[in-house]
Amino acid sequence: MAIKDLTTKSAEELKQHLLDLRKEQFNLRMQKGTGQLSQPHQLRRVRRDIARTKFVLGGKK
Protein backbone atom coordinates (compact mmCIF):
# COMPACT_ATOMS: atom_id res chain seq x y z
CA MET A 1 0.00 0.00 0.00
CA ALA A 2 1.31 3.46 -0.88
CA ILE A 3 2.05 6.10 1.75
CA LYS A 4 -0.59 8.33 0.12
CA ASP A 5 -3.25 5.79 0.97
CA LEU A 6 -1.99 5.34 4.50
CA THR A 7 -1.97 9.05 5.36
CA THR A 8 -5.71 9.29 4.72
CA LYS A 9 -6.46 6.63 7.37
CA SER A 10 -7.04 7.35 11.04
CA ALA A 11 -4.73 6.10 13.78
CA GLU A 12 -7.17 3.31 14.72
CA GLU A 13 -7.41 2.16 11.11
CA LEU A 14 -3.61 2.16 10.87
CA LYS A 15 -3.31 0.06 14.02
CA GLN A 16 -5.78 -2.46 12.63
CA HIS A 17 -3.93 -2.51 9.31
CA LEU A 18 -0.65 -3.11 11.16
CA LEU A 19 -2.21 -6.01 13.07
CA ASP A 20 -3.46 -7.55 9.81
CA LEU A 21 -0.01 -7.19 8.25
CA ARG A 22 1.66 -8.86 11.23
CA LYS A 23 -0.76 -11.79 10.98
CA GLU A 24 -0.01 -12.08 7.28
CA GLN A 25 3.72 -11.96 8.00
CA PHE A 26 3.37 -14.74 10.56
CA ASN A 27 1.42 -16.92 8.12
CA LEU A 28 4.03 -16.36 5.40
CA ARG A 29 6.84 -17.27 7.80
CA MET A 30 5.04 -20.49 8.72
CA GLN A 31 4.58 -21.33 5.03
CA LYS A 32 8.27 -20.70 4.43
CA GLY A 33 9.20 -22.96 7.31
CA THR A 34 7.11 -25.84 6.00
CA GLY A 35 8.26 -25.34 2.42
CA GLN A 36 4.84 -24.31 1.13
CA LEU A 37 5.69 -20.70 0.23
CA SER A 38 5.36 -20.38 -3.53
CA GLN A 39 5.92 -16.62 -3.74
CA PRO A 40 8.87 -15.62 -1.53
CA HIS A 41 8.67 -11.98 -2.65
CA GLN A 42 5.54 -11.64 -0.51
CA LEU A 43 7.69 -11.67 2.65
CA ARG A 44 9.58 -8.61 1.47
CA ARG A 45 6.37 -6.80 0.45
CA VAL A 46 4.73 -7.40 3.84
CA ARG A 47 7.86 -6.34 5.74
CA ARG A 48 8.00 -3.08 3.81
CA ASP A 49 4.27 -2.46 4.25
CA ILE A 50 4.74 -2.86 8.01
CA ALA A 51 7.56 -0.30 7.95
CA ARG A 52 5.45 2.16 5.92
CA THR A 53 2.51 1.78 8.29
CA LYS A 54 4.68 2.29 11.37
CA PHE A 55 6.25 5.36 9.76
CA VAL A 56 2.88 6.98 9.08
CA LEU A 57 1.54 5.97 12.49
CA GLY A 58 4.55 7.60 14.18
CA GLY A 59 3.91 10.80 12.29
CA LYS A 60 0.31 10.92 13.51
CA LYS A 61 1.36 10.91 17.18
pLDDT digits (tens, 9 = 90+) for 33-60: 999 999 999 999 999 999 999 999 999 8
Q: Which domain holds residue 38?
A: 11-60
- 4 within domain boundaries: no
The count of domains in the chain is 1
Q: What is the pLDDT of residues 5-35, one digit of tens each?
A: 999 999 999 999 999 999 999 999 999 999 9
Predicted model pTM: 0.89
24 inside domain: yes
Integer Cα distance of 4 and 8 in angstroms = 7
- Asked if residue 33 belongs to a domain, the reply is yes
CA distances from 17 to 20, 21, 38, 39, 56 (A): 5, 6, 24, 22, 12
Assigned domain for 6 exists: no
Q: Is residue 5 part of a domain?
A: no
In a domain, 30, yes or no: yes
